[in-house]
Amino acid sequence: MGHDVTVIGSANLDVVVLVPAIPAPGETVLARADPARHAGGKGLNQAVASARAGARTGFVGAVGDDPAADLLLHALREAGVAVDAVVRTPGRPSGTAHVTVRPDGENAIVVVAGANAGWSGLTVAAQAAVAAGTVLLAQLEVDPGAVLAAAALAREHGRLVLLNAAPAPSEGTDLTPLLDLVDLLVVNEHEATALAGVVDGAAAARALAGGRRSVVVTLGARGALLVDRTGAVTAVPATAVTAVDTTGAGDAFVGTLAAATALGEPLPLALRRACAAGALAVQGHGAVPSLPTRVAVDALLSRAD
C-alpha cells in the first residue's frame, strides 16, 4: 500500500539554545539554560507533521553512523512515519542544526548538512516510495539532483508534487527544471521575491503561479496567501497566539498542508488547516515536540469557528 505523502528531505539533530538576544557579529551572549536536543530537519519535521495530521507518510532521506541517527529514526517511527527508504551513511555524522531562540520566539539557525549532503541518487526503496505516494513533498535542504529526480519520477506516475522552496536557493541557482515539475509551491515572502525577482509578495506569487501551478506564500503572523492556476487569490488569516518558539512552525504548516491535500481537502480548506497547525506549533519549544496532531488542529479550528 502506498503512502498518502512521501517526503524527501533532510533529517537533523537540533541543538536548541535559549538566549536573551541573538548575537550580532563579534558579540558573545550567555544562554538562559542548558541546550535541548530534538529531532529536526525540514524533511523530518514535515514528515512528522504530515503523519500527525492523519496521513500515511513515508520518509526518504539519510542519517549518519552515530547516536544521533538512532534519535532521528526513533522520532520518525514514533510518529508513524515509514523509514524503509532512509539510508544510514557509514563514516558520516548525521546532520545538525544549531538553533538560538530569543524570548519572543524568533530564532537564528546554522545547519551542518552531514549525511544529508551524501546523496548519490535515489535508492530502489526511495524510488518505490516516491512512485507509490499520492503527494511528493520536497524542500531544498538536500541535494537538488535527488529532489529533481524524485519530482520527475512522481510526475511520471501521476503524483502531485509539492515543493517547499526553502531554504532560499543561492543567487544564480536555476530552479526552472524543478519548478516545471511542481504542482504546488510553498514559499515565504523572502523566498517568493527571491525566486520571482519581484519585490511585492503578492505580485511574486502571481508571477510564480503563471497559470502552471498553485502558489502559497506564508506570511507569518498574517497568515498565508494562495494564488491558484487561474490567478484567483485567497487570503487565509492566522490565528492570534503568543509565540514561544517559531522553530518548525513553517514545517508544521507545510506538512499539514501536504497531508490535507493528499486526503482530498480542497486547497483553501487545506490552507486554513495548515495555518492552524503553524499557530499551534509556535506555542511550544523545539520543532518536533511542538508539531500538532490532527485532533489539536480540529479543536483550534472549532474554537475559531
CA distances from 292 to 2, 137, 160, 168 (A): 24, 18, 24, 25
Task: Give the CA-trace dihedral at 21, 25, 28, 33, to 10 degrees.
Answer: 40
Q: What is the pLDDT of residues 247-297, one digit of tens each?
A: 789 999 999 999 999 999 999 999 999 999 999 999 888 789 899 999 999
Global pTM reads 0.93
Pick from 266, 253, 161: nearest CA to 213: 161
pLDDT confidence of residue 14? 92
Q: What is the pLDDT of residues 16-36, one digit of tens each?
A: 999 999 999 999 999 998 999
Rounded CA separation 258/46 (Å): 9
In CATH, the architecture of 5-10+42-65+80-85+120-304 is 3-Layer(aba) Sandwich (3.40)
Mean model confidence pLDDT for the chain: 92
Q: In the beta sheet, which residues pair with residue 87?
A: 62
Which residue is listed with cell 500515511?
56
pLDDT confidence of residue 30? 94
Q: What is the pLDDT of residues 97-146, one digit of tens each?
A: 998 989 888 889 899 999 999 887 899 999 999 999 999 999 999 998 99
Q: In the beta sheet, which residues pair with residue 216?
A: 186, 226
Are the beta carbons of 267 and 43 closer than 8 angstroms? no
- Weakest-pLDDT range from 7-16, 33-42, 170-179: 170-179
Catalytic residues: 251
pLDDT of 1 > 70? The answer is no
- What is the maximal distance between C-alpha atoms in the chain? 54
Q: What is the pLDDT of residues 196-211, one digit of tens each?
A: 888 887 889 999 998 8
Q: In the beta sheet, which residues pair with residue 233?
A: 227
Cβ neighbours of residue 172 under 8 Å, at least 6 residues apart?
A: none
Are the beta carbons of 215 and 200 closer than 8 angstroms? no
